[in-house]
Chains A and B, each alone.
Chain A
Amino acid sequence: MKTIRIMLDFISGPLWKDVFDTQKKELVTGIDIVDNDEYLQQLNEEIQALYSSYYKINYKDEPVYFDEEQEKADKEKMLGLLEKLISRLNEINDGSFVIDDRETERVRNL
């Protein structure tokens, strides 16, 4: 049984991709049913772009500044997107993976 980690980091996540596909030359989760789901990948890109937008280069006297206020302002938007992501994962789950969601509770507590 594989685990799909839901986690946000700078230009990474929420679908935690830590397997390098040498043919595609890109990171994947290693769970085919997840990697091949177009809707999931679209959601993943949207959430990643939103979270990464909080990081600003050479801003407010910082080499990289994390905009906590913007993250809080986007809380409901992010929760909505994460809910869609988790829902889709549950829809396609054929019993081959479990979800380790490290974000929904964290965002809810912002």
Chain B
Amino acid sequence: MGTGFSGNYKSTSGSLKPEHLMDELKNSGHKYNEKDVVMVTKTKKNELVWLEKGTSTKGLQHIIEEHANDFKNKFGVSEKGIPSKIKDIFTQGIEVSSKEKNGGIEKIYEYKGEYIVIAGVGTNGLIVSVYPGGSK
């Protein structure tokens, strides 16, 4: 996975919302709230996934309200660091399971050789929830 520089885009290494991926999201045909996107990335399987600010039941707000303590306890990550951590999990983690169930996709990652992280993703790629599990 490169930085996305093709001569038409600015170098986006480290960015949570690289311009070329925001364009890909725009052209994907999926509904999305542009002003609410906090992170967009691609998994190792080249799947486009994104995180929005959300509400109590989905997205970043939901993850903070329900799982911020889990992120803090497992990874030492504050609320502000959660989007970046989620990006790292999706891009650097090893996907050990991905299955469609009950209208969504349950993705399970082995992260940093030690942790299990579970994500509930919409079939369109929107990240609804992410939480660290027990250790491997």
Contact residues of A with B, CB < 8 Å? 7, 9-12, 18-20, 25-27, 30, 48-49, 52-58, 61-64, 66, 68
Contacts and interface: CB of A to CB of B under 8 A. Distances in A.
A57 B58 contact: no
Nearest to A50: B102
B97 A26 contact: yes
A66 B104 CA distance: 13
A55 B97 contact: no
Given A18-B116, A63-B122, A55 B133 contact: no
B102 A27 contact: no
Contacts of A58: 30-31, 124
Contacts of A63: 30-33, 52, 122, 124, 126
Interface residues of B, number: 33
A19 B97 CA distance: 13
Contacts of A9: 66, 120, 129, 131
B96 A53 contact: no
Given A18-B116, A27-B133, A11 B30 contact: no
A9 to B, nearest CB: 5
Contacts of B101: 11, 52
Nearest to A60: B31
Contacts of B128: 10, 55, 64
B13 interface: no
Contact of B103 (A57, A61, A68): A57
Interface string B75-98: 000000000000000000000110
